[in-house]
Structure 1
Amino acid sequence: MELINKGKTKNVYKLENGNILLEFKDDVTGKDGVFDPGENQVGLTLEGSGAAALALTTFFFEKFKEKGIPTHYVSSNPEKKTMEVLAAKTFGQGLEFICRYKAVGSFFRRYHKYCEEGQDLKGFVEVTLKDDAAGDPPITKDGLILLNLMTAEEYETLTKLTKEISDVIKDILAEKGLDLYDLKLEFGRDKEGNIMLIDEVSGGNMRIYKGNQYIEPLSLPDLLLK
């Protein structure tokens, strides 16, 4: 297989059958040694975080499959910490769709003059450009269309999918007494041009609480999968 990219949290390989292999690493995003799913840099290394991310991603993708939600997931190998997925073309150089249920993290830092920390955001969806140097700036629907990153119809499809997927995850977590504050998702197109969920869905790209207690990403598999 051919190494395509060494990412912050995963290495990406191209397989002979045309699919992609994602190798999960123990690096997580954050700043000053503190995990933060909203950060765009590797902040620390947590032993076991790669295996945890793969276990949760597999769990969630299987749930999405049951509900007919399109994803790039094919299969996973827990021993090797890898997941085989369909090849996907990103929107531009990559976008993140963030669903926010509570005003925390980067949202609160940006808009703290207009909201209270922890304020209910009712599943508000925002889109950011994947651009580390620019700090992953937010972009509006009109901006996405103007820059030819997607059509108006695709934007509506993607925001609807983001909310649908986020609500599924929120409900699953609620069954375990956990509250989803926010999460980020990525989407791409398959070779036929169909939109599908890509990348991972794990504790590393969501913020979860139980009451007032923040749940560390490595703690989530024990709370959710056992």
Structure 2
Amino acid sequence: MVAGGEPQATSHEPSCYSCSVNEVDVQGVRRGALLYEGKAKQVYATEHPERLVVAFKDDATAFNAQKRGVIAGKGEVNSAVSARLFGLLEAAGVPTHFLKTLSPREQLVRAVQIIPLEVVVRRFAAGSFAARYGVAEGEVLEPTVLEWCYKSDALGDPPLNDDTALALKLATPDELRALRRLALKVSEVLGDFFASRGLELIDFKLEFGRAPGGELLLADEISPDTCRLWDRQSGERLDKDRFRRDLGGVEEAYQEVARRVLEDA
């Protein structure tokens, strides 16, 4: 399974803001209490009950947090890359939680109730998929494979089928259909965009949430933490696999992805 994200950004009561003793004003947004801290991000309240501040960290984990480290500059790279990609997706008709960038590693986002399903989209065989089915890494998958995983660090994010997701009441039938449609749209848009930047989008992980009105929004992040990205010419891995597999050059790979994604932004 591709890199895990955050069980983050749920909607919170307005009173959460008032419990902060370390308010910070960033571009006119008053960042209040720390509501949640995960492996890669921190989530803060704001004065608006339906707005949150997400701060990206340099901390890195792999293998369900069994491996830990720090990737210098990762927080800024992931925030900038995510912001650009969320903007592209919004323009293509995929609704997201992203509102604006506040600082190099902070974003203002819409508060959502995260659906406890990770949507894993596999365009090429790699990682655990290749190992599980004995398929060579890099083999094209036709059709694109979508997998659900139950978001639970304690359980190791186990895979689910549709019936299990419904039986556990993680999503409704209509939501599962919408998630599939949105995930395939994301794959189409980002696959084309990354190809234009000399990158192959191998696979990636998405998280969605419900806005207060029930609308499904793409949430969390899209970055080298959550995507496998290979150089189309050399096949070089430019993502978190460099950290997972001790390949070296992790910071340089993240910066290279940022350079290509943000070019002409």
TM-score with structure 2 setting the length: 0.77
Corresponding residue number in structure 1 for 2:54: 22
Q: What SS does the corresponding residue of 1:204 show, helix, strand or coil?
A: coil
Partners of 1:154 and 1:101 lie apart in 2 by 22
Match of 1:119, as an amino acid?
Answer: E
Select 1:65's aligned residue among 81, 90, 99. 90
Q: What SS does the corresponding residue of 2:183 show, helix, strand or coil?
A: helix
Select 2:145's aligned residue among 124, 130, 144. 124
Deviation of residue 152 (structure 1)?
A: 1.4
Q: Is the 8 A contact 2:117 2:170 kept in 1?
A: no
Deviation of residue 2 (structure 1)?
A: 1.3
Partners of 2:69 and 2:191 lie apart in 1 by 26
Partners of 1:55 and 1:40 lie apart in 2 by 25
Q: Does the alignment pair 1:198 with 2:219?
A: yes
Q: What SS does the corresponding residue of 1:150 show, helix, strand or coil?
A: coil
Cα separation, partners in 2 of 1:129 and 1:218, compared to 1, 3 Å: farther
Corresponding residue number in structure 1 for 2:113: 89
Corresponding residue number in structure 2 for 1:177: 198
Q: Is the 8 A contact 1:203 1:218 kept in 2?
A: no
Corresponding residue number in structure 1 for 2:248: none
Consecutive unaligned residues in structure 1, runs of 5 or more? 31-38
Corresponding residue number in structure 2 for 1:47: 72
Q: Does the alignment pair 1:136 with 2:154?
A: no
Corresponding residue number in structure 1 for 2:38: 7
Partners of 1:119 and 1:191 lie apart in 2 by 41
Select 1:100's aligned residue among 109, 113, 122. 122
Superposition RMSD in Å: 1.4
Corresponding residue number in structure 1 for 2:24: none
Partners of 1:174 and 1:29 lie apart in 2 by 27
Quote the sequence identity (%): 33
Deviation of residue 223 (structure 1)?
A: 2.1
Q: Does the alignment pair 1:74 with 2:84?
A: no
Length, aligned pairs only = 213
Match of 1:218, as an amino acid?
Answer: Q
Deviation of residue 95 (structure 1)?
A: 1.7
Partners of 1:180 and 1:29 lie apart in 2 by 21
Deviation of residue 108 (structure 1)?
A: 1.8
